[in-house]
Amino acid sequence: MSKRVAFYTLGCKLNFSETSAIGRIFQDAGYEPAPFNSRADVYVINTCSVTDNADKKCRKVVREALKYSPDAYVAIVGCYAQLKPREIAEIPGVDMVLGAAEKFNIIEHINDLTKQPKALIRHAPIDETNQFIPAFSIGDRTRTFLKVQDGCDYSCTFCTIPMARGISRSGTIADLVDQAEKIAASGVKEIVLTGVNIGDFGIRNGKREDRFLDLVKALDGVTGIDRFRISSIEPNLLSNDIIDFVAQSNRFVPHFHMPLQSGSDKVLRLMRRRYQRELYAERVARIKALMPDCCIGVDVIVGFPGESREDFLETYHFLNGLDISYLHVFTYSERENTIAAQMEGAVPGAQRGERSKMLHILSEKKRRAFYQTQLERTQHVLFEGDVKDGYMHGFSRNYVKVRTPYDPLLVNEIVPVRLSHITDGGDVEAAEVSPVYTTH
């Protein structure tokens, strides 16, 4: 009887792609995939260091796994495992902790699943993590996340990712095109390009071999994929050439997610970001001039050390005046071994919370205003298989979230939809959905 393995992923799209790749490694070794909320012989938990309470979340997931299978072997991988291996090894029920360089060799480390008195730690220094391991998610979502880049050479004062993932490195364009073609053969219609700093794509063995624009152009020629979506990209790396190419592409969709982090030049300098607000505004203006219906998402951090109320209001008014579509708001929290954690001018927790609330309200206002411009239009929507309260959801090319009553024939289909009105839940109701005649 095959051994069963189950997975749980915390964090970003890149983690989801890597979990899926590790899952295929287990399947090649003869393991049977199992849902996380079922009995398994092995549970693999892929962790994140960016979100708050990483330790608390990891402990909770371990406890949950052992409810289903008290004698199971529990392996922890991912960014938090690289940063805090000994801390994780002390969590009751954990059997193995693998750092960034070891996680894709997990089968070699697991051996016979014999539980030992102490957790096994395999953890190389992060400067030894310099190999690009390809990964993509498949089988669990309508969209696939394709990893095109890993690591980061930037030194933002608040960030632990370079310590968790190492230097910037990428696959070759030929290999990534080959992976996209394999994904296309599986019937997936949308690929999301993901990485730590995808605009820095093209570095191999410490040398720049390619540019992100070269990759975008190559993928644009892959047949069988209807949509490519670019995940988060730094504004200083989103060149005019990339914007211009996406504007005329049939496959790359009009949706950008650009981290801003602060609308105050003073705070941006404290963060060691590689741009000022003027450049960000220029990027937004060019995108909207070429693609008026483009969706633009923004990351922003509130409560960074040294951020005065005036600095925050500068950020608020800057964002309010930009033609953007939604915000991802992060409340600053101290991270060990970062420069920011040692900075003066810590913002009291209550003020961090108040600023976060103001930007969440602004985000909802921006999203509704953007959705309002799309009503009574016909958009092509890719519907997903999840069902909630009798409805299914999908996304237009420009990332409008659309709902319609569940119809199994619509799953993983791109269909023309007339957008009716914004629901109480903030989605857009589909007034007319064209019939689907093809099935898979």
3-state secondary structure of 193: strand
Closest by CA position to 10, among listed 107, 85, 81, 100:
81
Q: What is the pLDDT of residue 440?
A: 38
Q: What is the pLDDT of residues 404-426, one digit of tens each?
A: 999 999 999 999 999 999 999 99
Q: 255: which strand partners?
A: 295
Give the span between the Cα atoms of 258 and 235, in whole angstroms: 6
Q: What is the pLDDT of residues 4-31, one digit of tens each?
A: 999 999 888 888 999 999 999 999 999 9
Q: What is the pLDDT of residues 46-62, one digit of tens each?
A: 998 776 677 788 889 99
Q: What is the pLDDT of residue 51?
A: 64
* 412 Rama sector, left if φ>0, alpha if ψ -120 to 50, beta otherwise: left
Query: What count of Cα atoms within 13 Å lies in the side-chain half-sphere of residue 328?
Result: 13
Q: What is the pLDDT of residues 110-123, one digit of tens each?
A: 877 888 888 989 88
- Enter the tokens of residue 134: 């390809």
| Confidence band of 140 (pLDDT split at 50, 70, 90) | low
Query: What count of Cα atoms within 13 Å lies in the side-chain half-sphere of residue 39?
Result: 5
For residue 260, is pLDDT > 90?
yes
Q: What is the pLDDT of residues 174-190, one digit of tens each?
A: 999 999 999 999 989 99
Give the span between the Cα atoms of 239 and 80, in whole angstroms: 32
Closest by CA position to 220, among listed 187, 244, 238, 195:
244
Q: Across all residues in the chain, what is the average pLDDT?
A: 92
Average pLDDT value for residue range 193-216: 95
For 4-124, CATH gives 3.40.50.12160
| Confidence band of 438 (pLDDT split at 50, 70, 90) | very low
Give the span between the Cα atoms of 21 and 405, in whole angstroms: 33
| Confidence band of 431 (pLDDT split at 50, 70, 90) | confident
Provide the percentage of residues in the chain whose pLDDT is more than 70: 97
Query: What count of Cα atoms within 13 Å lies in the side-chain half-sphere of residue 110?
Result: 23
Q: What is the pTM of this model?
A: 0.91
Task: Mark 366-376 as b/e (b = at least 16 C-beta within 10 Å).
Answer: bbeebbeebee
- Are 8 and 74 a contacting pair, CB within 8 Å? no
Determine the residue type at 224.
G
In this structure, which CATH number among 2.40.50, 1.10.3470, 1.10.1660, 1.10.10 belongs to the domain 378-433?
Answer: 2.40.50
- CATH 3.40.50.12160 residue window(s) in the chain: 4-124
- Enter the tokens of residue 345: 């001018």
Q: What is the pLDDT of residue 52?
A: 65
Q: What is the pLDDT of residue 436?
A: 58
Task: Mark 292-307 as b/e (b = at least 16 C-beta within 10 Å).
Answer: ebbbbbbebbbbbbbb
Give the span between the Cα atoms of 63 and 235, in whole angstroms: 40
Look at 24-28, 137-141, 213-217, 254-258 and tell me which has the smallest mean pLDDT: 137-141
Cα 313–Cα 314–Cα 319 angle in degrees, nearest 5: 95
Q: What is the pLDDT of residues 81-138, one digit of tens each?
A: 999 999 999 999 999 999 888 999 999 888 778 888 889 898 888 887 788 988 998 7
In this structure, what DSSP letter does residue 346 have? P
Give the span between the Cα atoms of 17 and 137, in whole angstroms: 4
Q: How many CB atoms lie within 10 A of CB 235?
A: 23
- CATH 2.40.50 residue window(s) in the chain: 378-433
Provide the percentage of residues in the chain whose pLDDT is more than 90: 78
